[in-house]
Amino acid sequence: MSGTSGGSRNRSVRFAATAGLIVALVAVAAGCGGGSNKSSGGGGGTTSSGSSVSGSVKFWGIWSAQEQKAVQKVIAGFNQKYPNVTVTYTSKGDNIPTILATAIAGGSPPDVADVAQPGLVKQLVQQGHLKPMTYAKSTIGANFSPAWANLGTINGKLYALLFKASNKSTLWYNVPVFKQAGVSAPKTWSQLLSAASTIKASGTPAYSLCGASGWTLTDIFENIYLRMWGSTKYNDLSAHKIKWTDPSVTKALQFMAKIVGDPSNITGGASGALQTDYPTCVDKAFANPAGGAMVVQGDFVGLEILQATKAKANTGFNVTPFPTITPGADASAVETGGDLIVTFKDNPAIEAFVKYLATPQAAEIWAKLGGFGTGNKNVPASIYPDAITKTTEAPLLGAKSVVFDMSDNQPAAFGATTGQGEWGIFQKFLQKPSSITSIEQQLESSASKAYKSGK
Amino acid sequence: MEPLPGAAPPQPSEEGLSRYLAGTFFLLPAIVLLGIWLLYPTVYTVVRSFFGQSGYLGSWVGIDNYRTLFTTSTLVTAIKNNAIWVGVVPAFVTALGLIFAVLTERVRWAVAFKTVVFLPMAISAFATGVTWRFMYLQDPSQGAVNALGRSVHEAFSSPGVLSNALPSTTSLQNHGGALVLKTPLHPGGVAILGLTGIAPQDMPSGAKQAVKPAPKSGDVEGVVWRDFKPGGGKPGVVEQGEQGIPGVTVELRDSSGKVVQTTKTDADGSFDFSGVAAGTYNTGIGASTFAKPFGGYSWLGPKLITPALLIAYIWIWAGFAMVVIAAGLSAMPRDVLEAARTDGATELQVFRRVTVPLLAPVLSVVFITMIINVLKVFDIVIALAPDSVQSNANVIALAMWRTAFSGNNDFGAGSAIAVFLFLLVIPVLALNIQRFRREV
């Protein structure tokens, strides 16, 4: 199982992680009125047209186990409004890209699917397999800021709804190590660097990197680039409108070299980090004695800490937003990933279901159960069950500046193949952080090749 | 399907025809199954390899996919690596199997020995890969292979007590492993030797608040301490809350760099060289304090990963070779060996001139089987090599899977790799089939 695909496995780890974190935290928090009473879901009233729609929807997704139960509850909520529509959800697990590809080749795709790779969505649109969801535009517009609607817009048409979102712009830290070193959670880039050097002097390496999993390195780069240059440039780079040899990339890599450039401040040194995969680096950082002080990764880290280590929330570990770099509108821009709802067919039942998923009611059903983030601005932050989840997921609610994980958004040959393309080249960068020029050239040549053949 | 020679008379009589039909009838299920599960996929793969990523419609690319195969660096690495595998593994496995087989004939616990050598065959290659990955880990406290290296290493040199420590200011400089104070001192001077990068749990026990000694004429004094308190403190200044490091060996070097005196620090980190003659001196902390423990070889790094994989793979298959060759050995006519020995041949001569030639058919079966196995090798690579070096450890079968299913979903290029692999295996298979025919 751990030998399966790089891309989809890592993705699934992330989402499963986000999911379980909150579930676990809810369990820990106990007492916080957790009842499965979802009748409070409000928003009844307008069911007049609901029963006139009938039909069935074949829905494939990656969610299994706890997440599958949660999505069934969301479907139950939908059925209260539309009793005559039957939604059949089937969990296809991590391999959904491959399963979809073969289903399409065999001529029997589902009606609705959830896909974690925006790059795949784009590819499916280009191949003409997806139907635009123009009918849901007003519902999405009413509940999400334009930045979120843009995430699902391809060639000017709306094709996808980011139903379940994760926040990849977070930084997890070991509280006792921070205390021992006498530093507090960094808010800005310079605070991060000075905290890191103080932590090093205190005798613990500041960064626990998961270099064997290439995507963890690109995630760090992407956060730096996003907070340094803002979302417009970020999107241009991810669409390859800016070349990888651009001075903006050089500067971002120079900043990143401040993290990966000092092997004595990395758990196990650079070569040790390159053999440490995700989530082993998390286990190391939050072990006792601590192998490192910080893990610069998204919200999915929380569950791993709770499951694999003895560290407790707030006293053992904590989370803070990725430090700001350039002040301004995009100083706290968020990098997100998540599950995109796409449609292969079009009929009133499918339309009703997609529209329902864009409502705050649908999001709240799952958010209450845990393991769920959303950009829906009409969902109150108070829905999240604990402080850690609030820190990680609240920045998403109505976030005005939000972008996709860059490597997810690029052709897979460049952005999502184990040991190759972007993942492989950033591993070379960790090995030799002084070779920025050569790294940029390799990135550029690999990117231009992938963009050419992707067409 | 041809009918059996005896069952097909040139002019089928009534009876012959029905026998013929009966034969065909019984073969039918096999033909259908082979057709569905082998023939159709093979043909489909070949056809698919001439189309691009998006499928059949309008994506005919001709031999482009095959061109990619030989121009993409990762695929070229895969082909090169497969060549190394083919060059190394069959030869080693056959040779080791032969040695084991011949030797086990003469030991007492032959059955036990054979069982142990054969055991790896009973473990799935994937599990073997995972196990060896742990054994190869670089950190000697986790990886068994490097742990062995560490115990050998430590038999000769032991690591220092403060192997991770770093100088707290640039006034301390590295001289061949020792940290030496840059500014020379005269008798009556005080050396400030601050160290950082020491985790609290790594501090020697009994450490007390660091004290900077008052100068004393005729003596060179100083302090070695953990120059860190929460928040960092001021580097190079002994502050409240910073602890001295006891038991550190401090050296006094004269102007030529020769060590003239050594002493150990007290609980508060202070030290004192008394009766120092006039002149200039450098103080420093000896290199043995900072001696790094054995860090381990990077078996899973880009340079050693392929050898590491080869070792693990040979470990699995040597048992198989041994069992097959031992079977051949036991079927060998003993009188020939006896005759050679009676004629005065040494054991080595018997082995080289009699045993090996007589075993040649068995050896070549093992060798050819191994070539086929190795061409298709996949599971151990994906299980053993960390993601960061999988492009260095790549092999054709893994490259095919990566291209077709993992991330890329490029069935066209993936099919092309599969066809290429198929073409490589065919001549070896043909050879093997020919051998079987000859033996029957």
Contact call for A182 and B410, based on CB within 8 A: no
Q: Which of B231, B386, B406 sits opposite A417 (nearest CB)?
A: B406
Q: Which of A271, A412, A419 sits opposite B409 (nearest CB)?
A: A412
Q: Specify whether the CB–CB gap between A403 and A333 falls below 8 A.
A: yes
Q: Compute the nearest-CA separation of B314 from chain A (Å).
A: 21
- B164: which chain A residues are within 8 Å (Cβ-Cβ)? 203
Q: Is residue A101 helix, strand or coil? A: helix
Binned at pLDDT 50, 70 and 90, residue A22 comes out as: very low
Chain B residues touching residue A211 (CB < 8 angstroms): 388
CB A119 within 8 A of CB A160: no
Cβ contact A419–B388 (<8 Å): yes
From chain A, the residues in CB contact with B74 under 8 A are 419-420
Contact A338, A162 (CB under 8 A): yes
Q: Which whole number is the average pLDDT over B417-421?
A: 94
Helix (H), strand (E) at residue B117: helix B110-118
Chain B contact set for A214 (CB, 8 A): 387-388
- The structure tokens listed for B293 are 């423990």
pLDDT at residue B10, rounded to an integer: 53
Backbone angles phi and psi of B234, in degrees to 5:
-95, 120
pLDDT at B12: 54
Q: How many CB atoms lie within 10 A of CB B221?
A: 22
- CB proximity B74 to A under 8 Å: yes
Between positions 82 and 121 of B, the ones with CB within 8 A of A are none
Tell me the CA distances in angstroms from B205 to A176, B209, B238, B399, one per residue in order. 21, 12, 19, 54
Q: Which of B229, B406, B417 to mutate to test the interface with A (most CBs of A within 10 A)?
A: B406
Cβ neighbours for B430, distance < 8 A, ≥ 6 positions apart: none
Cα–Cα separations (whole angstroms), residue A234 to A230, A401, B299? 6, 11, 37
Q: pLDDT class for A311, splitting at 50, 70, 90?
A: very high
Give the minimum alpha-carbon distance from A414 to chain B in angstroms, rounded to a whole number. Answer: 9
Mean pLDDT of all residues belonging to chain A: 86
Q: In this structure, are residues A228 and A403 in contact, taking their beta carbons and an 8 Å threshold? A: no
Question: pLDDT tens, A404-451?
Answer: 988 888 887 788 777 778 998 999 999 999 999 999 999 999 999 888
CB contact under 8 A, A418 and B229: no
> Are A51 and A203 within 8 A, CB to CB?
no
Model confidence at B60, pLDDT cuts 50, 70, 90, reads: confident
The CATH label, of 3.20.20.370, 3.40.190.10, 3.40.50.720, 3.20.20.220, for the domain at A8-28+51-167+336-401 is: 3.40.190.10
Q: Is 70 exceeded by the pLDDT of residue A293?
A: yes
Query: Residues B101-134: pLDDT tens digits?
Result: 988 888 888 888 888 989 998 888 899 999 999 9
Q: Which residue of B has its CA nearest to A116?
A: B407
Q: Give residue B440's pLDDT.
A: 61
Residue A113 pairs with which residues in a beta bridge?
Answer: A60, A342
Instruction: Using pLDDT thresholds of 50, 70 and 90, give the confidence band for residue A4.
Output: very low
Helix, strand and coil content of chain A, in percent to the nearest 5, comes to 50, 15, 35
Parallel, antiparallel or unpaired: strands A112-115 and A55-61: parallel
Per-domain residue ranges of chain B: 1-32, 64-146+299-439, 166-290
The pLDDT value given to residue B391: 85
Contact B65, B413 (CB under 8 A): yes
Q: Does B204 touch chain A (CB under 8 A)?
A: no
Question: How many A×B Cβ pairs under 8 Å?
Answer: 134
pLDDT at B175: 83
CATH class, A170-331+410-453 region: alpha beta
What's the order of all strands across the beta sheet hosting B281-285?
A: B172-175, B178-181, B281-285, B249-254, B259-264
Binned at pLDDT 50, 70 and 90, residue A356 comes out as very high
Q: How much is the average pLDDT of B224-247? A: 89
Higher pLDDT, B232 or B35: B35
Residues 395-414 of A with CB under 8 A from B: 412-413
Q: Indicate the CATH number of B64-146+299-439 among 3.30.110.40, 1.10.3720.10, 1.40.20.10, 3.40.630.10.
A: 1.10.3720.10
Interface of A with B in 141-180 (CB under 8 A): 179-180
pLDDT of residue A112: 96
Give the pLDDT score at B2. Answer: 47
pLDDT at A24: 45
Contact B394 A264 (CB under 8 A): no
Cβ atoms of residues A329 and A227 within 8 Å: no
Distance CA A297, CA A173 (A): 10
| Predicted structure pTM score | 0.81
How many CB atoms sit inside 10 A of residue B240's CB? 8
Task: Evaluate if residue B52 carries a pLDDT over 80.
Answer: yes
- Min Cα–Cα distance to chain A from B403, Å: 8
- Span B341-370, pLDDT tens digits: 899 888 888 888 888 999 998 999 899 999
Give the mean pLDDT of A212-216: 91
User: Is A203 close to B55, i.e. CB distance below 8 A?
Assistant: no
Look at domain B166-290 and name its CATH class: mainly beta
A19-37: string of b/e by CB count within 10 Å (b at 16+)?
bbbbbbbbeebeeeeeeee
> Which among A101, A275, A289 has the least Cβ separation from residue B409?
A101
Measured between beta carbons, the chain B residues lying within 8 angstroms of A8 are 406-407
* Bridge partners of residue B190, in order along the sequence: B221
The lowest-confidence range among A45-49, B17-21, B72-76, B324-328 is A45-49
Give the rounded percent of residues in chain A with a pLDDT score beyond 90: 59
- Of A308, A193, B244, nearest to A291 by C-alpha is A308
Predicted confidence (pLDDT) per residue in B174-216, tens digit: 888 888 888 888 888 899 899 998 888 888 888 899 999 988 8
Asked whether the beta carbons of residue A98 and residue B389 sit closer than 8 angstroms, the reply is no
Q: Is the pLDDT confidence value at A94 over 80? A: no
The Cα–Cα gap between A257 and A429 comes to 8
User: What is the pLDDT, as a whole number, of residue A346?
Assistant: 93
DSSP 8-state secondary structure symbol assigned to residue B351:
I
User: pLDDT tens across B325-345, in order?
Assistant: 999 988 888 888 889 889 988
Pairwise CB contact (< 8 Å): B387 & A214: yes
How far is B292 from B25, CA to CA, in rounded Å? 75
What is the mean predicted confidence (pLDDT) over A137-160?
A: 92
Looking at the predicted structure, is the pLDDT value of residue A41 above 90?
no
User: Which pLDDT value is given to residue A44?
Assistant: 37
- Nearest-by-CA chain A residue for B409: A98
Tokens representing A173 are 């830290």
- State the best of B59, B67, B292, B388 to mutate against chain A, taking most chain A CBs within 10 Å: B388
Check if the beta carbon of residue A145 is closer than 8 Å to that of residue A139.
Answer: no
Percent of chain B with pLDDT over 70: 95
What is the predicted pLDDT for the residue at A454?
52
For CATH 3.40.190.10, the residue range(s) in chain A are: 8-28+51-167+336-401, 170-331+410-453
Helix (H) or strand (E) holding B253: strand B249-254
Output the pLDDT for position A437.
95
Strand-by-strand arrangement of the B220-226 sheet: B166-167, B190-196, B220-226, B270-273
Split at pLDDT 50, 70, 90, the class of A43 is very low
pLDDT at position A38 over 70: no
